[in-house]
């Protein structure tokens, strides 16, 4: 029985664990669990969130996608697209269209590459940040003990001219229960800046929110803002590599496109070609600067240079119903289809020399090309369409020396009618100066439009007795004696898309010239009776009358 008693006691003793007692009553007992390291806990949590399989999430759970577009960039791109439409439809300027298209594509590429999307898997409390079309760069799994703090950094700068400007950055930081950072950035993160985007982010997260302001622009979180290094995807490296290859490809692609698409009806043969007619429609032909082909569809038309036209259609097919025809300039051809040279073509009695030609507002340069900008071809017996053409102008001034001081009765200006282009001068004032004078004396003034214009002109009313293909005599009230210089001032007429003045011939008329009938280039007669004429009349026997716009 005793053996049984002790056997029972021994079994009871083996079942009870020993209790440790300190020999020092004041010493506390050791805890059964080790103390938690908050920093290690935050680090481990970031690692665990990074390991979340996003592809598996998409397969197993539903999500809500939140987009944060760059609104200012969208507005800027829309403006560029509108400008492209204007230049291709209104100005028909393919170069500007292509350049703006390249800029728009770069902006679109930047928009796509920086567009922010946050996918929210509500059942798992997981948020996945995306930037552009790239892989997710941050994954966050929400806990009820997390908080989000917000603040704004304001920076003030002063430029060299003393202008002060300020910029504000709206920042946030997501923290765990110990105050350790999980993610921080501007706006909604990943470059989606702005207070509005940040407020949307807070609504999506649904975390308790605090607020604070940073004083001078530096914040202890600045170095970590928008820091994607907490994920395995390095967007910056990929973006730089992609941009290194993609931007040059886009640029040379647009250069190639420019070479293809700028070969339109205007410059299929470069600057050596002129546009004549189209079979597409009369309105289209007019818009292109030409006429409806007189011969109709299926027939090679005759061009103003007296030769069969060449096909300048962009599709290289001029027998498909939308045909565009033109001609090539040769040495004897003039700018628009007109003859132009320095030959003496009509008699003059008072030879002149050019002193100066300028735009009177801010001396804008003449943008017209040779030979249309060569005034010497339109004076002293020459016949040539002259034009001073610039983007904007107040008026135009021409000063001439008379080779010999002479008595003069006025100035005559010839304007040969152009079928496809506007030309002429709006308003005219004529001043003279004698050899010993130092001031100009006004001898003639007219506020009429001599010729045609497009959208506007300084003076728009045409005189009743004005006619093209003939000399118009701006006669003084009396003969002015001993004249050594003549100044002619005109207004502005909108011609060929710019501020212009143009004419085909100009001469100073000596005393007594107006006692004789004038010579009409196309159908007049000349009796050789200009007194003191300094040049012989040359008849246009060898020049196509069409090139002088004669009927």
Question: Does residue 343 lie in a domain region?
Answer: no
Q: 254: Cβ–Cβ under 8 A, 6 or more apart, which residues?
A: 98, 99, 101, 102, 105
Spatial separation of the C-alpha atoms in residues 534 and 348, rounded to whole Å: 6
Considering the domain architecture, whether residues 421 and 493 belong to the same structural domain is answered as: yes
Lowest mean pLDDT among 335-339, 353-357, 411-415: 335-339
pLDDT of 272 reads 55
The answer on pLDDT for 216 being more than 70 is no
Among 181, 201, 180, CA closest to 190:
201
CATH number at residue 459: 2.60.120.260
Lowest mean pLDDT among 21-35, 47-61, 340-354, 416-430: 21-35
Domain endpoint, select from 180, 211, 230:
230
Lowest mean pLDDT among 141-155, 184-198, 507-521: 507-521
DSSP letter at 10 equals: H
Spatial separation of the C-alpha atoms in residues 146 and 177, rounded to whole Å: 5
Average pLDDT over residues 249-258: 53
Q: Which residues pair with 165 in a beta bridge?
A: 157
Question: Does residue 39 lie in a domain region?
Answer: no
pLDDT of 35 reads 56
Number of neighbours of residue 161 by Cβ within 10 angstroms: 5
In angstroms and rounded to an integer, the radius of gyration of the C-alpha atoms of the chain is 43
Question: Does residue 426 lie in a domain region?
Answer: yes
pLDDT of 266 reads 40
Average pLDDT over residues 480-486: 95
Query: Distance from CA of residue 186 to its chain's centroid?
Result: 32
pLDDT of 544 reads 43
Average pLDDT over residues 393-413: 94
Question: How many residues comprise the chain?
Answer: 551
Lowest mean pLDDT among 233-237, 377-381, 474-478, 493-497: 233-237
Considering the domain architecture, whether residues 481 and 358 belong to the same structural domain is answered as: yes
pLDDT of 478 reads 94
Share of the chain above pLDDT 90, in %: 19
Spatial separation of the C-alpha atoms in residues 363 and 357, rounded to whole Å: 9
Considering the domain architecture, whether residues 129 and 186 belong to the same structural domain is answered as: yes
Domain endpoint, select from 174, 203, 230:
230
Domain that holds residue 277: 270-328
Q: 440: Cβ–Cβ under 8 A, 6 or more apart, which residues?
A: 431, 432, 433, 487
CA–CA distance from 17 to each of 13, 56, 445 (Å)? 8, 48, 127
pLDDT of 534 reads 47
Lowest mean pLDDT among 317-321, 472-476, 532-536: 532-536
Considering the domain architecture, whether residues 302 and 439 belong to the same structural domain is answered as: no
pLDDT of 420 reads 66
Considering the domain architecture, whether residues 128 and 199 belong to the same structural domain is answered as: yes
Spatial separation of the C-alpha atoms in residues 503 and 426, rounded to whole Å: 11
pLDDT of 42 reads 84
Lowest mean pLDDT among 58-67, 259-268, 411-420: 259-268
pLDDT of 237 reads 43
166/390: higher pLDDT: 390
Q: 86: Cβ–Cβ under 8 A, 6 or more apart, which residues?
A: none
pLDDT of 451 reads 92
Question: Does residue 125 lie in a domain region?
Answer: yes
The answer on pLDDT for 21 being more than 80 is no
pLDDT of 306 reads 64
- Band (545; pLDDT cuts 50, 70, 90): very low
The answer on pLDDT for 536 being more than 60 is no
pLDDT of 539 reads 44
Query: How many Cα atoms sit within 13 Å of 192 on the Cβ side?
Result: 25
Domains in the chain, number: 3
pLDDT of 259 reads 47
Q: What is the dihedral of CA 341, 346, 351, 354, to 10 degrees?
A: -30
Domain endpoint, select from 230, 258, 284:
230
Q: Is 149 helix (H, G, I), strand (E, B) or coil?
A: strand
Considering the domain architecture, whether residues 226 and 286 belong to the same structural domain is answered as: no
Considering the domain architecture, whether residues 294 and 388 belong to the same structural domain is answered as: no
**H/E element holding 286?**
helix 282-287
Considering the domain architecture, whether residues 367 and 511 belong to the same structural domain is answered as: yes
- Band (8; pLDDT cuts 50, 70, 90): low
Question: Does residue 19 lie in a domain region?
Answer: no
Considering the domain architecture, whether residues 301 and 368 belong to the same structural domain is answered as: no
Quote the tokens at residue 124: 């798992």
CA–CA distance from 33 to each of 43, 313, 424 (Å)? 20, 88, 101
Among 373, 403, 407, 414, CA closest to 390:
373
Spatial separation of the C-alpha atoms in residues 396 and 490, rounded to whole Å: 5
Considering the domain architecture, whether residues 284 and 383 belong to the same structural domain is answered as: no
Considering the domain architecture, whether residues 178 and 122 belong to the same structural domain is answered as: yes
Q: Which residue pairs from 538-546 have beta carbons closer than 8 angstroms and sit at least 24 positions apart in sequence?
A: 538/343, 538/344, 538/345, 540/345, 543/339, 544/305, 544/306, 544/339, 546/304, 546/306
Lowest mean pLDDT among 19-28, 417-426, 453-462: 19-28
Residue at token pair 């000349």: 526
Considering the domain architecture, whether residues 396 and 518 belong to the same structural domain is answered as: yes
Spatial separation of the C-alpha atoms in residues 548 and 551, rounded to whole Å: 9
Highest mean pLDDT among 57-61, 439-443, 493-497: 439-443
Reply yes or no: is the peptide bond before residue 371 cis, omega within 30 of 0: yes
163/429: higher pLDDT: 429
Q: Is 21 helix (H, G, I), strand (E, B) or coil?
A: coil
- Band (538; pLDDT cuts 50, 70, 90): very low
Question: Does residue 244 lie in a domain region?
Answer: no
Question: Does residue 346 lie in a domain region?
Answer: no
Q: Where are the beta strands (DSSP E) in 195-329?
A: 209-211, 273-278, 291-292, 310-311, 324-328
Question: Does residue 75 lie in a domain region?
Answer: yes
Lowest mean pLDDT among 239-253, 370-384, 488-502: 239-253
Average pLDDT over residues 153-162: 81
Average pLDDT over residues 113-121: 85
């Amino acid at each position: 029985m005793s053996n049984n008693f002790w056997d029972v006691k021994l079994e009871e003793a083996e079942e009870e664990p020993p209790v440790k007692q300190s020999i020092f009553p004041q010493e506390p007992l050791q805890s059964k669990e080790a103390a938690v390291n908050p920093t290690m806990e935050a680090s481990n949590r970031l690692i665990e969130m990074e390991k979340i399989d996003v592809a598996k999430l998409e397969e197993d759970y539903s999500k809500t996608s939140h987009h944060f577009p760059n609104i200012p960039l969208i507005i800027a791109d829309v403006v560029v697209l509108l400008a492209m439409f204007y230049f291709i439809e209104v100005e028909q300027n393919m170069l500007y269209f292509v350049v703006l298209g390249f800029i728009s594509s770069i902006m679109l590429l930047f928009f796509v590459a920086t567009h922010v999307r946050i996918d929210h898997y509500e059942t798992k409390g997981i948020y996945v940040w995306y930037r552009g079309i790239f892989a997710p760069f941050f994954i966050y799994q929400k806990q009820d003990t997390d908080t989000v703090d917000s603040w704004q950094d304001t920076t003030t700068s002063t430029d060299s001219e003393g202008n002060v400007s300020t910029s504000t950055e709206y920042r946030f930081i997501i923290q765990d229960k110990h105050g350790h950072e999980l993610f921080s950035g501007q706006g909604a993160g990943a470059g989606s800046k702005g207070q509005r985007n940040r407020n949307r982010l807070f609504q999506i997260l649904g975390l308790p929110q605090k607020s604070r302001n940073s004083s001078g622009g530096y914040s202890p979180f600045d170095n970590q803002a928008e820091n994607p290094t907490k994920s395995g995807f390095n967007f910056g490296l990929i973006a730089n590599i992609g941009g290194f290859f993609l931007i040059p490809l886009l640029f040379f692609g647009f250069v190639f496109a420019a070479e293809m698409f700028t070969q339109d009806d205007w410059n299929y043969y470069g600057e050596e070609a002129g546009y004549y007619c189209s079979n597409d429609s009369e309105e289209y032909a007019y818009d292109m600067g030409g006429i409806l082909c007189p011969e109709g569809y299926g027939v090679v038309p005759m061009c103003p240079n007296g030769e069969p036209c060449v096909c300048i259609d962009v599709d290289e097919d001029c027998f498909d119903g939308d045909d565009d025809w033109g001609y090539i300039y040769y040495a004897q051809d003039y700018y628009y289809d007109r003859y132009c040279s320095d030959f003496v073509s009509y008699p003059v009695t008072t030879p002149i020399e050019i002193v100066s030609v300028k735009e009177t507002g801010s001396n804008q340069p003449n943008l017209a090309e040779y030979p249309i900008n060569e005034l010497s071809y339109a004076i002293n017996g020459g016949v040539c369409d002259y034009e001073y053409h610039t983007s904007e102008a107040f008026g135009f001034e021409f000063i001439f020396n008379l080779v010999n001081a002479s008595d003069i009765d006025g100035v005559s200006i010839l304007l040969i009618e152009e079928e496809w282009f506007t030309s002429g001068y709006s308003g005219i004032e004529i001043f003279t100066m004698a050899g010993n004078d130092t001031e100009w004396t006004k001898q003639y003034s007219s506020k009429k439009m001599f010729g045609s214009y497009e959208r506007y002109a300084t003076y728009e009313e045409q005189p009743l007795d004005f006619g093209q293909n003939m000399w118009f005599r701006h006669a003084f009230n009396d003969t002015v004696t001993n004249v050594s210089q003549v100044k002619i001032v005109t207004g502005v007429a909108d011609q060929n898309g710019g501020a212009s003045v143009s004419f085909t011939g100009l001469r100073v008329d000596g005393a007594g010239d107006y006692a004789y009938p004038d010579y009409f280039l196309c159908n007049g007669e000349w009796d050789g009776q200009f007194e003191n004429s300094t040049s012989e009349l040359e008849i246009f026997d060898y020049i196509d009358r069409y090139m002088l716009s004669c009927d």
